[in-house]
Amino acid sequence: MAERIISVARFIPAPPEQIFDLLASPEGHLAIDGSGSLISPKENPERLELGSTFAMKMKIGVAYSVTNTVSVFEENRSIAWHHGAGFEWRYDLEAVEGGTQVTESFDYSKPGGALLGLTGMPKRNKKSMEETLKKIEALVAPA
């Protein structure tokens, strides 16, 4: 199966712990959504952990709900989740002098990913990811 992963990275002048706390909170996802597709979180745990499930009301053309499962959880370093189709969103945090290098990735290499690629969604996701990282920075390291 072809590897289909897109990613963006950004230096954020804040400690990894502060950024990770935002990512580990389903409620925080609405504030950092760079795609504009999140409407609201559904009933979710207050803080995610490995194996947690969380659901979001979304809208891309039409309204729908998606349930995600946390597949990677390394406190203050990495967090990832996937939905039923297996496409995975991942954040990797690396402490560097003066802050954190944050890399957000979208892995759509599961079956159906080639079709997703034909829709232009991965290219739109990349722009959304850049916006998400800007929003994270604005929340954790305000000017």
Question: Tell me, what's the pLDDT at 38?
Answer: 85
Q: Is 37 helix (H, G, I), strand (E, B) or coil?
A: coil
Residue 121: domain span: 5-140
HEC per residue, 77-123: CEEEEECCCCCEEEEEEEEECCEEEEEEEEECCCCCHHHHHHCCHHH
At residue 103, the pLDDT reads: 98
In tens, the pLDDT along 33-83 reads 998 888 888 888 999 999 999 999 988 888 889 999 999 999 999 999 998
**Domain count of the fold of the chain:** 1
Say whether pTM exceeds 0.85: yes
CATH number where 53 lies: 3.30.530.20
For the stretch 11-36, pLDDT in tens is 999 999 999 999 999 999 989 999 88
Per-residue pLDDT, 85: 74
